[in-house]
Structure 1
């Protein structure tokens, strides 16, 4: 009994330590953003007169309205397409088991092992040859392809565990494969789909490297990608830079707070199923 209590105390202590390590940088960012513009705050010190107007100044200076619209358009281009293609491919690999599915599935698994930075140079030349440089399509299309291996593996993990008797019963009733997919399998896959959608949204919204390499116009990047241009322009104004960083983080923080249970479920589901 004493051993279990000691383990519980140590576990809670580690969780508290991890929470502090996670929260302190964000807290430092917010506190620094409240200092007078042009100053150089040291450490985490609450200002005598918080300058809440720094957030409004950063919003106007970075043209956050256009950045927000650009990020939303990119997310709407990436997430639904990745969900649709990943679900259909996951259904084919996990439930239909078509001929040669093991070899093709292995290729998707190998896609997860490719370092992102390693394909950036050939990706740049390919996007350039397609005439898509400095457009949102230069971010949307590569992200759909880069997210596909994970999306397929995630959805396959769900469909592998769906009883085959459901499809057999639907076939007896005269349902085609397409009808089985949309009317039976997709409704059952709602938890997996919603979890995958949250992860894809967070990854797309926080996309930085593709944005700064393939798109020169900051107003056509994601909000995270536009931070590079904002930093170059206001890099010496630390409070204003921190205020802009907080504004960029707010949407993902809001999504996490609203869907935190689903987010945790998404991480656990991916590690348990298979």
Structure 2
């Protein structure tokens, strides 16, 4: 269906507005980070003498390298395990149509409606009982569980839309369940898996509340969760706070820019199938 000039121009205007609303806060943070450390910046104004050394000071004094390493360790466990569990469960619910799958799906959808903040206190006492409190496992294990409802629902939606003729043809050729999954379903699921991996990475890297509540040592938290400790050090230095925040979000921006095509392709693929 062809669009008229009004639709095209309104779409461009909305995209331009979204771009401004997205980029303007980043520009404001950069301009504030480049101000002298003892200055309290107000508004958006590019400094006459940019203090690029603020980023070095924030990185070294704020132990950002160690905090990023902690975040990467958590991501390295949470993302692969969550992807594996979501893929297997989505395949079972979407292709195998296991008994009781409808009730399981409803249970998972209900899990999406629970406010995350309401689970913090139960998770604290659970981590205390398991002996994982004040360790990275106190963040890793809850994140895997919290990501399951969305991940399973996402992968099930993909597997349901795969033509059943492909599975039937594989069975006729003598393929078992695991052979069909590995050779037929899994290659077709790569776009959905890549998009889900990006979302898992972003959510894990930006996790703030869990590390702050469940880990006492600020240097063992995620990079985002340690900003409270960083703010305590530099509560009077807004430029250094902005410099530290920019360093933390740089990996997220890089990951999204590198994998944006795969992410958009997976979303468009789901839209076309539905």
Pairwise same-fold verdict (TM > 0.5): yes
Aligned twin of 2:132? 132
1:179-218 paired onto structure 2 within 5 Å: 179-218=179-218
**More displaced 10-residue stretch of structure 1: 15-24 or 150-159:** 15-24
Q: d(CA) in 1 for partners of 2:19 and 2:166?
A: 44
**Alignment partners' CA distance in 2, 1:265 and 1:173:** 31
Shift of 1:6: 2.7
State the Cα RMSD in Å. Answer: 1.6
2:267 and 2:142 map into 1 onto residues whose CA distance is 24
- In structure 2, C-alpha distance between the alignment counterparts of 1:272 and 1:108, rounded to whole Å: 25
| TM-aligned CA distance change 1:113 to 1:222, over 3 Å | same
Does the 8 Å contact 1:157/1:273 carry over to 2?
A: no
More off after superposition, 261-270 vs 71-80: 261-270
163-172 or 231-240: bigger deviation: 163-172
**Which residue of 1 is the match for residue 106 of structure 2?**
106
Equivalence for 2:255: 255
TM-score (norm 1): 0.95
Does the 8 A contact of 1:71 with 1:205 survive in 2?
Answer: yes
Residues 67/51 of structure 1: CA separation in 2 closer, same or farther (3 Å cut): same
Deviations 1:96-154 (A, max 9, x none): 00111111111111111111011111111111111111111111100000000000011
Structure 1 segments unaligned to the other structure (5+ residues): none
Contact 1:199 1:263 survives alignment (8 Å): no
Specify the SS of the correspondent of 1:225. Answer: coil
* Count, aligned residues: 272
Corresponding residue number in structure 2 for 1:172: 172
Corresponding position: 1:223 with 2:223: yes
Residue 266 of structure 1, CA deviation: 4.4
| 8 Å Cα contact 1:79/1:201 also seen in 2 | yes
Matches of 1:243 and 1:271, distance apart in 2: 39
**Contact 2:158–2:270 under 8 Å retained in 1:** no
Q: Compute the displacement of 1:10 (Å).
A: 2.6
Shift of 1:270: 5.7
Report the alpha carbon displacement of residue 45 of structure 1 after superposing the two structures with TM. Answer: 0.8
Q: Would you say 1:38 and 2:38 are equivalent positions?
A: yes
Q: Is contact 2:30-2:242 (8 Å) kept?
A: yes
